[in-house]
Amino acid sequence: MNPNQALWEKGDFTRIAESMRTSGDELVERIGVTEGLDVLDLGCGDGTTALPEARRGANVLGVDIARNLVEAGNKRAADEGLTNLRFQQGDASDLTDLADDQFDLVVSIFGAMFAPRPFDVAKEMMRVTRPGGRIVMGNWIPGDPTLVAQILRISSAYSPPPPEGFVSPMTWGVVDDVVARFTAAGISEENIRCEPDTFVFEAPVSPTEYLTWFRDYYGPTMNAFEAAETNGRADELFAELDALFNAQNTTGDANTTAIPATFLCIEVNV
Ligand SMILES: C[S@@+](CC[C@H](N)C(=O)[O-])C[C@H]1O[C@@H](n2cnc3c(N)ncnc32)[C@H](O)[C@@H]1O
């Protein structure tokens, strides 16, 4: 199977997504999603931003590579009676099922950044967006001191080196790379805006228990623990991540977790 798909079908990302709902809703509010807008939410997971987009009256298509997340998203939409939202499987690097100029807004929050072939991703997002429309991406930033970049940095020290030719998803958090990809897709540089923003992970459990959700349900962290286990270093990895999660918790209460993480918010006018 496509390793990108296998990574995200592993475990159960919905368990992590539960801790992302409030910030997801606030981000959709900041993006400015309005009634009647045709929206593509790419790498949508189980709908952390797609449901808030649909609740605001947009016509939303969620596309994700992971079949279990597509199914979970369709269930959430049905449970909420959102007839203006549906989810289907697709690959952000090759949106063959989608026509040119189909959407007013393409949103991808920590989603399309994980697809292979980033130049193709920019080209595809651009192709399906109508002239006058917008693309909004949220991408983690390499080397950033906050949670997600640090989880990936720590995990990589316990994991085998990536295959030759692998382009790190984190390069989507580097302004020069973002500009190179969208200009290659035909966008002029003055129509690309990049600004740091903050997303808060919230869970009604201690930071240590919250870390076990990543270890047990989040594909990339599960892989890091599997690699560490084979080298007898799983306890060391847990201890390093535990120190990170506890140091970054802002609740002041040992039994609840709120950890802010900085990301690069990119807005492209098509
Ligand atoms: C960190 S999750 C974020 C999900 C969602 N946007 C959210 O904020 O909760 C990354 C998502 O990107 C999806 N993804 C990874 N590679 C993809 C690809 N090539 N095409 C479409 N989706 C992809 C994964 O399946 C996963 O749902």
Q: What pLDDT, on a 0 to 100 scale, did the predictor assign at position 163?
A: 87
Residue 223 near residue 158 (C-beta atoms within 8 A): no
219's tokens: 């594909």
- Looking at this protein, which amino acid is placed at residue 203? A
In the reported structure, the alpha carbon of residue 106 is separated from the centroid of ligand 1 by a whole-number distance in angstroms of 14
4 Cβ inside 6 Å of ligand 1? yes
- Determine the distance separating the centroid of ligand 1 and the alpha carbon of 269, expressed in angstroms: 23
Determine the distance separating the centroid of ligand 1 and the alpha carbon of 65, expressed in angstroms.
7
Q: Comparing C-alpha atoms, which of 56, 51, 92 is closest to residue 75?
A: 51
Closest CA to 150 of 24, 232, 242, 254: 242
The residue to mutate among 110, 123, 222, having the most atoms of ligand 1 within 8 angstroms of its beta carbon, is: 110
- Which atom of ligand 1 is found nearest the CA of 111? 12
Residue 1 is predicted with a pLDDT of 72
Q: Going residue by residue through the chain (270 aa), what tens digit of pLDDT does each one get? A: 788 898 999 999 999 999 999 999 999 999 999 999 999 999 999 999 999 999 999 999 999 999 999 999 999 999 999 999 999 999 999 999 999 999 999 999 999 999 999 999 999 999 999 999 999 999 999 999 999 999 999 999 999 888 888 899 999 999 999 999 999 999 999 999 999 999 999 999 999 999 999 999 999 999 999 999 999 999 999 999 999 999 999 999 989 999 999 999 999 999
For ligand 1, the distance from its centroid to the CA atom of residue 110, given in whole angstroms, is 7
What is the predicted pLDDT for the residue at 165? 87
DSSP per residue, the chain: --HHHHHHHSB-THHHHGGGHHHHHHHHHHHT--TT-EEEEET-TTTTTHHHHHHTT-EEEEEES-HHHHHHHHHHHHHTT-TTEEEEE-BTTB-TTS-TT-EEEEEEESSGGGSS-HHHHHHHHHHHEEEEEEEEEEEE-TT-SSHHHHHHHHHHTTSPPPPTTPPPGGGGGSHHHHHHHHHHTT--GGGEEEEEEEEEEEESS-HHHHHHHHHHHBHHHHHHHHHHHHTT-HHHHHHHHHHHHHHH--SS-TT-EEEEEEEEEEEEE-
Cβ of 95 below 6 Å from ligand 1: no
> Quick check: 176 and 266 in contact, CB under 8 A?
no
Distance 177 CA to ligand 1 centre (A): 20
C-alpha R_g of the chain: 18
Task: Choose the residue to mutate in 114, 139, 199 for probing ligand 1, maximizing ligand atoms within 8 Å of C-beta.
Answer: 114
**Distance of alpha carbon 149 from alpha carbon 244, whole angstroms:** 11
**pLDDT for position 71:** 98
